[in-house]
Amino acid sequence: MEDNKVTTPEARPGRLKLIWSFLEGSKFFFISAMLCSALSSLADMITPQIIRVAVDNVIGKKPPDSLSPRVIGLVEKAGGFEYLSKNLWIMACAIMAVAAVKVFAQYGLRVMNTRGSETLVKTMRDRLYTHISHLPFQWHMENHTGDIIQRCTSDIETTRNFVSEQMTSLIRISIMLVMSIGFMLSMNVGLTVIAMLPIPAVIAYSFRFHHKIRDAFQECDESEGRLSAMAQENLTGVRVVRAFGRERYERDRFIDHNEEYTGLWCRMAEIMSRFWSISDILSGIQMLLVIVFGVIFCTKSTMTSGEYIAFISYNGMLIWPVRQLGRIISDMSKAGVAVDRIGYITDAETERDHENPVKPDMNGDICFDHVTFAYENGPEILHDICLTVKAGTTLGILGGTGSGKSTMMYLLDRLYPIPPENGRITISGVDIADIDLEYLRKNIGIVLQEPFLFSRTLRENLMITDDTLTMEEIHEAARTACLDETIDGFSKGYETFVGERGVTLSGGQKQRAAIARMLTQNAPIMIFDDSLSAVDTETDAKIRAALEKHFGTATIILISHRITTLNKADQVLVLEQGRVSQLGTPEELRNQPGLFRQIYDIQSYSEEEVTAS
């Protein structure tokens, strides 16, 4: 089980556009959260001014020369400075009123932000799941399931945290920066200049750390994807691991990768520790400068006590947004990586029909017209395949491993597209590339080599093709697939829970369940891709007889290595290295030299030996 690393572009254009598209349905909540954040910031700005007026003008009896006419008007409405000096509880009530406004705003911020972030996550997950489910079969073969899951969980969470915690803070930060500096300048220009001296250094080192944090987080994120993929593979294939006694090997392999993953996060923690330590040092120096020089200005009477108290409050409000800006830059680095990884999925082209797709009669002939095919960056699998399967007949396909048998069926079901220059496949004379994709697949039933059953009951697995099926229809499909006796032997019958990937069933039971599921589709074209290999010869014959009885008008394609399975086919196609080597009835192929006769002789000889013994 090799690690599969999906390449992520270093910098994906349109990150903001992608995030904006995900905000559909949650914009109202985030805008409301920003307004509440702005109201909370305004409340923070007002409180120091109330304290300043109380200390300097109400208690200290300083003339209100530096106050604005609006503030003086409010004081006059409250009874004037003299009245307030005798009733300080009014000033306390004003502070409490502002605090109440802030509490209301903070409550609104939390509620709206939470609703917005949860709606955002739901939108992202819905869109990604829908997009992934419509991506080509080849894309899924090239990308590891564990890594895809990690992108749809951890990377979505990282993006959500940035949007909900940082982007909504921008309004608050902007208000606090602008108003703090404005109030500070109005009280003491010199001390304001001193307070702002370390700020460029904080911003500069924050941007310097931006690239380091981004690169480190990308390594951590990709390593987590590989670790998730490894765990998913081993948990899914636990029976294989145990059957070959590879528990220790897989455990050591997991521990080694987990150690690498832990080391990357420790390195990330070191970078973040240096980042915040420098931030704390610079913030501490800035606060120390403000306190020391503020005391000096107060002793020289260039600054009042009330102004000094208010200035310290505003300085705290100034340094917090500056530090928060560093956190935003840090989280933006992580979010950029996460959005790039999510964008890798959304950028992948989904399967699409041609303009004006058609829905022809699917009971016609199937024609492979000079079909040549090779998987991406791989050797040629099929070469110039020419074949016509008459409607209502049974075609058998025989060939060695890698001869292209399954590939032909993947092409027929449009799981892989055929380049126009590599031939075409038609049904009822219509190119399958022009047929509506959903309609095509509903009319082609296919049982793959490795049947997949979901972690649900047998009934739910059989009803996947159509949730309106009646139990009688389900029973009929199970009887045709010779599965009914097996199900009757289970204590819960059709309500028997099937473990992950059908792990609680035998290989033959899984194949028969997959056949029954396909039969409920009642498709005019049925493909059995070596799907009778795990059942005994007697059951094989029963299934084929039942198929002939109940689905005699359907076009059936049987891929098998068992000659007895192919004996009743109308014609048999023999593939060798992706080329048609033989085509004819089973009787014709038995009487001519070639692969079919070789396998027939070997299997007949083996059956004679078994009979003789």
Give the DSSP per-residue string, 208-259.
HHHHHHHHHHHHHHHHHHHHHHHHHHHHHTHHHHHHTT-HHHHHHHHHHHHH
User: Are 338 and 453 found together in one domain?
Assistant: no
Q: How confident is the model at residue 606 (pLDDT cuts 50, 70, 90)?
A: low
Q: Name the domain boundary from 347, 372, 401.
A: 347
**More confidently predicted of 134 and 552:** 134
User: Are 272 and 400 found together in one domain?
Assistant: no
What CATH number is associated with residue 362?
3.40.50.300
Average pLDDT over residues 584-597: 90
What CATH number is associated with residue 240?
1.20.1560.10
Q: What is the pLDDT of residue 500?
A: 62
State percent of the chain over pLDDT 90.
Answer: 19
User: 594 CB contacts (<8 Å, ≥6 apart)?
Assistant: 574, 581, 582
β-bridge pairing 394-399 and 424-427: unpaired
Q: What is the pLDDT of residue 257?
A: 86
Q: Name the domain boundary from 347, 372, 387.
A: 347
In DSSP notation, 366-430 reads EEEEEEEEE-TTS-EEEEEEEEEE-TT-EEEEEE-TTSSHHHHHHHHTTSSPPPGGG-EEEETTE
Average pLDDT over residues 361-373: 93
Q: What is the pLDDT of residue 9?
A: 41
User: Are 434 and 507 found together in one domain?
Assistant: no
- Please give the angle made by the CA atoms of 74, 76 and 79, to the nearest 5 degrees: 115
Name, of 176-180, 498-502, 606-610, the range with top average pLDDT: 176-180
In what order do the strands lie in the sheet containing 571-576?
A: 444-447, 525-529, 555-559, 394-399, 571-576, 579-584
CB 507 within 8 A of CB 534: yes
Q: What is the pLDDT of residue 341?
A: 87
3-state SS, residue 587: helix
Average pLDDT over residues 409-431: 92
Residue 4 inside a domain? The answer is no
User: Are 387 and 253 found together in one domain?
Assistant: no
> Residue 377 above 60 pLDDT?
yes
User: Are 128 and 187 found together in one domain?
Assistant: yes
Q: By CB neighbour count within 10 A (0-12 exposed, 13-18 middle, 19+ buried), where does 460 fall?
A: middle
Q: Which one-letter amino acid corresponds to residue 125?
A: R
User: Are 263 and 176 found together in one domain?
Assistant: yes
Average pLDDT over residues 157-162: 87
Residue 287 inside a domain? The answer is yes
> Residue 134 above 50 pLDDT?
yes
User: Are 393 and 282 found together in one domain?
Assistant: no
CB 97 within 8 A of CB 50: no
Q: How does DSSP classify residue 584?
A: E
Query: Which tens digits make up the pLDDT trace of 182-221?
Result: 878 878 888 888 888 877 877 777 777 767 777 787 788 7
User: Are 598 and 450 found together in one domain?
Assistant: no
CB 580 within 8 A of CB 405: no
Residue 209 inside a domain? The answer is yes
From residue 433, alpha-carbon distances to 53, 175, 384, 524 in Å are 79, 58, 18, 18
State percent of the chain over pLDDT 70.
Answer: 91
Q: What is the pLDDT of residue 65?
A: 67
User: Are 467 and 482 found together in one domain?
Assistant: yes
3-state SS, residue 607: helix
> Residue 238 above 80 pLDDT?
no
**More confidently predicted of 63 and 136:** 136
β-bridge pairing 430-431 and 424-427: antiparallel
Residue 77 inside a domain? The answer is yes
> Residue 387 above 60 pLDDT?
yes
Residue 301 inside a domain? The answer is yes
Helices (H), 134-198: 137-142, 145-161, 169-187, 189-196
Q: What is the pLDDT of residue 479?
A: 85
Q: What is the pLDDT of residue 372?
A: 94
Q: What is the pLDDT of residue 124?
A: 92
Q: What residues make up the domain containing 40?
A: 15-347
CB 524 within 8 A of CB 362: yes
User: Are 122 and 235 found together in one domain?
Assistant: yes
Q: How does DSSP classify residue 62?
A: -
Residue 105 inside a domain? The answer is yes
**More confidently predicted of 349 and 179:** 349
Total domains in the chain come to 3
> Residue 177 above 90 pLDDT?
no
Q: What residues are paired with 378 via a beta bridge?
A: none
Q: What is the pLDDT of residue 119?
A: 93
Residue 513 inside a domain? The answer is yes
How far is the C-alpha of 351 from the C-alpha of 137, rounded, in Å? 9
Q: How confident is the model at residue 385 (pLDDT cuts 50, 70, 90)?
A: very high
How far is the C-alpha of 218 from the C-alpha of 321, rounded, in Å? 26
115-119, 156-160, 295-299, 309-313 — which is least confidently predicted?
A: 309-313
Q: How confident is the model at residue 66 (pLDDT cuts 50, 70, 90)?
A: low
62-66, 263-267, 474-478, 541-545 — which is least confidently predicted?
A: 62-66
For residue 591, the Cα-to-chain-centroid distance in whole angstroms is 55
Query: Which tens digits make up the pLDDT trace of 429-479?
Result: 999 999 999 999 999 988 887 788 888 888 888 888 888 888 888 888 888
Q: What is the pLDDT of residue 585?
A: 92
Q: What residues are paired with 580 via a beta bridge?
A: 575
β-bridge pairing 555-559 and 579-584: unpaired
Q: Name the domain boundary from 326, 347, 368.
A: 347
Q: What is the mean pLDDT of the chain?
A: 83
**More confidently predicted of 500 and 571:** 571
Query: Which tens digits make up the pLDDT trace of 114-133?
Result: 999 999 999 999 999 999 98
Q: How confident is the model at residue 153 (pLDDT cuts 50, 70, 90)?
A: confident
> Residue 5 above 70 pLDDT?
no
From residue 347, alpha-carbon distances to 136, 317, 574 in Å are 13, 42, 40
User: Are 492 and 417 found together in one domain?
Assistant: no
**More confidently predicted of 19 and 172:** 19
Residue 547 inside a domain? The answer is no
How far is the C-alpha of 250 from the C-alpha of 461, rounded, in Å? 31
**More confidently predicted of 62 and 149:** 149
User: Are 518 and 595 found together in one domain?
Assistant: no
Query: Which tens digits make up the pLDDT trace of 543-567?
Result: 777 777 766 688 999 998 888 888 8
**More confidently predicted of 346 and 547:** 346
